Structure 1
Amino acid sequence: MTGLALSNVEVVYDKVFLAIKGVSLEVGEGEMVALLGSNGAGKSTTLKAISGLLGPERGEITRGEIRFGDTDLRPLGAPARVDRGLVHVLEGRRVFGHLTPDENLVAAYRGGKAERSFEELRDEVYRYFPRLKERARSKAGYLSGGEQQMLAIGRALVTEPKLIMLDEPSLGLAPVLVAEIFAIIREINQKHGLTVLLVEQNAAATLEIVNRAYLIENGQIVMSGEAETLKRNPDVQEFYLGSGGKVDYHAIKHYRRRKRWLA
């Protein structure tokens, strides 16, 4: 069953700049899918189009359809999308630095709309991220980068999501922390069937945990497939996994890298 489906979505900023151009992708219910690409490729814009956060940045969807299950998301505001089980963990963590981890989690709790008690959801977050429980009395602004990322994900889990979208969760973190956080995301996906859309530049780590991936360049999807298939693709290896290694670029005076899909 399709959890999330985008069909030919276009986004324009300031009524002038076309940021994403006919993006189509699907994330099946309970699936873990990645959207890979370099800086400025359109990854974050795609997530904001899904979560309803384009407005504050003067962006708008000018074409296409976004469906979550049987629901057309385009007429809905961001809070209504959260109520339907869709949550977006923004790039840069964005925790409330003046609040403790507990208070951050309370801020995300949906109160009377929630199916489970806050205490139950909080304890579940602390089981996944025991380090947060150890720092429960600290202000979130004093947590390490990895702990803040754990808190941002935990805060999203308190909303009882059906689909969680993670924007660059590895940004600025040491490889050991990236591996730890990715392993926990994978565990949550497998244990609870939580649908995950993961936006990343770190293709090597991401392709180890997802089922499928899409590759976006200049606002367009240029490649998609099973994670194992993309890992074996020579273009993906050269430009995103850093394992091409067949050309001595320093020995060539006028070498211009050209991706096959852009040729």
Structure 2
Amino acid sequence: MLTSSNTAVPLEDTARPLLELSNVEVVYDRVFLAIKGVSLKIEQGQMIALLGGNGAGKSTTLKSISGLLAPERGLVTRGNLWFKGQDMLPLTPPSRVAAGLVHVLEGRRIFEHLTPEDNLLAAFPLRGSRQRYQELREQVFTYFPRLKERARTKSGYLSGGEQQMLAIGRALMTEPELIMLDEPSLGLSPLLVQEIFEIIRKINEEQGMSVLLVEQNATAALAVVDYAYLLENGHVVMSGEAAVLRENPDVQEFYLGGAGKVDYLNVKHYRRRKRWLA
């Protein structure tokens, strides 16, 4: 029997998704079970939406991925979380950012006393070169020209839409492979929402960056993403291609404002029940 003197090096599992959650559970204060067995995956370059109402578990799911549960006394108590084949659960939030994932929190968390330019500098990794910083800054200004126009204005004086652009731009300074956006449309006009979502899609297409989008505005989200998961009460109750979910009668009725689907004048009782709760 012939043997080789060379040690075989295992090949990287290229079939594995970029991000994979398997049966993840999160508990707050060791009592409240917020998400219950959530499983999802994101391939390289995909745009995915997490849909659902208030309290469905969308933001908690993002925080379990980014590692930002601890300040809210939350803890992943079960399940697995893999990013690029690496177990993320033991890693700190900064280590997860260094690995290539970044989380844009709900509410436009920017440094209001700093200028947009200084906000971008604050997000740039210390290990980076000045040249790379300048390249990334100009890239952000290309995607968001308004920020360049107001680069030396205190960020607290920017409009809500400009602050959201800055929050996204600041995340781009970390050169992520996956960017997670929590309610980017919150408090913005429909025109601004459309503009920001178009820019997000452009970033996805030009850079191949994966996007995980948490949204209550299901109509806007399903117009730009490839695939979506629907959460209710901490469970994934439905998932599928965006085009398929847009045509689903339950999604239309409960999440897409299905006005006109039912003639209430000609029925005495209307009690449509979500099929996944049956």
Fold shared by both chains (TM-score > 0.5)? yes
Q: How far is 1:136 from its partner?
A: 0.8
2:140 corresponds to: 125
> Is 246-255 or 130-139 further displaced after alignment?
246-255
What is the deviation of 1:70? 1.3
Please list, as runs of the form range in 1=range in 2, the aligned pairs for 1:186-225 lying within 5 A after superposition.
Answer: 186-225=201-240
Alignment map for 1:81-230 (pairs within 5 Å): 81-113=96-128, 117-230=132-245
Q: Cα offset for 1:245?
A: 2.9
Structure 2: gaps (5+ residues) = 1-14
1:43 is matched with which residue? 58
Computed over aligned residues only, the root mean square deviation of the Cα atoms, in angstroms, reads 1.6
**Mapped contact 1:234–1:244 kept (Cα < 8 A):** no
Of all paired residues, the percent bearing the same amino acid is 69
1:96-134 residue CA offsets vs partner (Å, 9 max, x unmatched)? 100000010011000215796111100000000000011
Residue type at the aligned position of 1:226: E
Give unpaired runs (5+ residues) of structure 1: none
Give the SS at the match of 1:177: helix
CA distance in 2, matches of 1:130, 1:12: 41
The reply to whether residue 259 of structure 1 matches residue 274 of structure 2 is: yes
Q: Of 223, 230, 251, which residue of structure 2 is paired with 1:236?
A: 251
| Equivalent pairs, count | 263
User: Which of the residues 66, 71, 86 maps onto 1:71?
Assistant: 86
Aligned equivalents of 1:173, 1:74: Cα separation in 2: 34
Residue type at the aligned position of 1:119: Q
Code of the residue aligned with 1:140 in structure 2: it is S
TM-score normalized with structure 1 length: 0.96
Sort the Cα spacing of 1:249 and 1:43 in 2 relative to 1 into closer, same or farther, 3 A: farther
Partner SS for 1:112: coil
* Kept after mapping to 2: 8 A contact 1:114/1:160: no
Higher CA-based Rg: 2
TM-fit CA distance, 1:137: 1.2
Paired with 1:253 and 1:114, the residues of 2 have a C-alpha distance of 69
